[in-house]
Structures are given as C-alpha cells and as structure tokens.
Amino acid sequence: MQIKKFLSAQIVFLALALLVLALPAQAATPMPQFALPSVSDGATIASSSFQGKAMLINFFATWCPPCRKEIPSFIELQNAFGPKGFTVIGISTDEGGSALVAKFVEKMKINYPVVMGDTQTPMAFGGIIGIPSSFLVDRQGNVVKRYDGYVDHKTLERDLNAIFQ
C-alpha cells in the first residue's frame, strides 16, 4: 500500500513538472519609462524617444571603479551597434550634480546620452541595490537581461548580437 501511494505521488509530481515545462516562456518585462535631464545641457531625454531601438540602460556613478571600467566597452558597443539601432543610456546616481558628471563624460569621451538619475527611476527598474547595474532592452521595449555589477564586453556583445539576429 505504501509503495502504491509513493508511486501515485511520483506520478502526480511528474505530471505537474511536465505541465510547467509545457507552459510558454514568460514574456519579457516592459521597460519603465523615464524622462531625465541630460548632464551636458539639461535638456530632457525621454526613454520614449528611443522607441524601436535596442538600449543598454546603465546606472553608474563617477566615483565607482567597476562603473569606470565598463565605460570603454560601452563606447565601443555604441560605435559598433549604434548604426544598427542601438544606444547606451547612462543614468548617473551621483549626488554632486550634473556639472561634475558632465566633466566626467567629457574626460571619458562618452559617446552616448548620460542623464542625471532621480529616486523614482531606479525603483521603477526593480530597485538598484548596487552599481553598476545595467538593463538590456530589445527593440520592442522589453527588458530582456539584467546585469548586477560589472559586465564584460564579450557578454554584452553576445547578448546584443542575439537581439540583432
């Protein structure tokens, strides 16, 4: 009798497991919308103006060593994938103001939009507990990858190639 109950439980478990595996993959999460001031001129940069483009949204700070290490890779990716419909958007979490960040952008020769963050945008992206934190957004406006911490060039390039196939 005990063996029969055990086998029945195993069959139920197996049936549930197969049902879960047969369900369609969960859809990607729509990217939260934002409109933030550019560090270069204070003009508002809205995420909606990049509709139809793939994006890498990067939360960073000028004083953060891993953030600084990622920037040359982001510049290269902007050069390589920009003509295909891609942009990096840097969102500064610095508290020193836009003038400080604008000097940093100039010094690093950043070739993509950089804006000053607010308190709502990190929360809209699910909460940022550390920097750098980046989000890969496909052309349909869905967040398809989240990178907590430093992400290497090869990983980003592979993920971008998957979007542009």
Confidence label for 165 from pLDDT (cuts 50, 70 and 90): confident
Kindly report, residue by residue over 98-146, the tens digit of the pLDDT: 999 999 999 999 999 999 999 999 999 999 989 999 999 999 999 999 9
In a domain, 18, yes or no: no
Instruction: Tell me if 24 is assigned to some domain.
Output: no
CATH number of the domain that residue 136 is part of: 3.40.30.10
Phi, psi (degrees; rounded to nearest 5) at 35: -140, 110
What confidence tens digit (pLDDT) does each residue in 18-57 have? 333 333 334 579 999 999 999 999 999 999 999 999 999 9
pLDDT at residue 9, as a whole number: 41
Tell me, what amino acid is at 21?
L
**158 in any annotated domain:** yes
- Whole-model pTM: value is 0.82
The verdict on residue 123 lying in a domain is yes
The closest of 109, 131, 142 to 32, measured between CA atoms, is: 142
State how many domains the chain has: 1
Contact 45, 35 (CB under 8 A): yes
Dump pLDDT digits (tens) for 50-87: 999 999 999 999 999 999 999 999 999 999 999 999 99
| pLDDT of amino acid 27 | 54
Q: What pLDDT band is residue 4 in, cutting at 50, 70 and 90?
A: very low
Position 149 in a domain: yes
Judge whether 138 lies within some domain: yes
Residue 13 has pLDDT above 80, yes or no: no
CA 85 to each of CA 31, 43, 47, 161: distance values in angstroms, whole numbers, following the listed order: 17, 22, 14, 12
Q: Where are the alpha helices (DSSP H) in the chain?
A: 2-22, 65-81, 98-108, 120-124, 153-163
> So what's the pLDDT on residue 110?
98
Dihedral pair phi/psi, residue 45, rounded to 5°: -110, 115
Q: Does the structure show a pLDDT above 80 at 91?
A: yes
Residue 81 belongs to what domain range? 30-163
pLDDT number for residue 145: 96
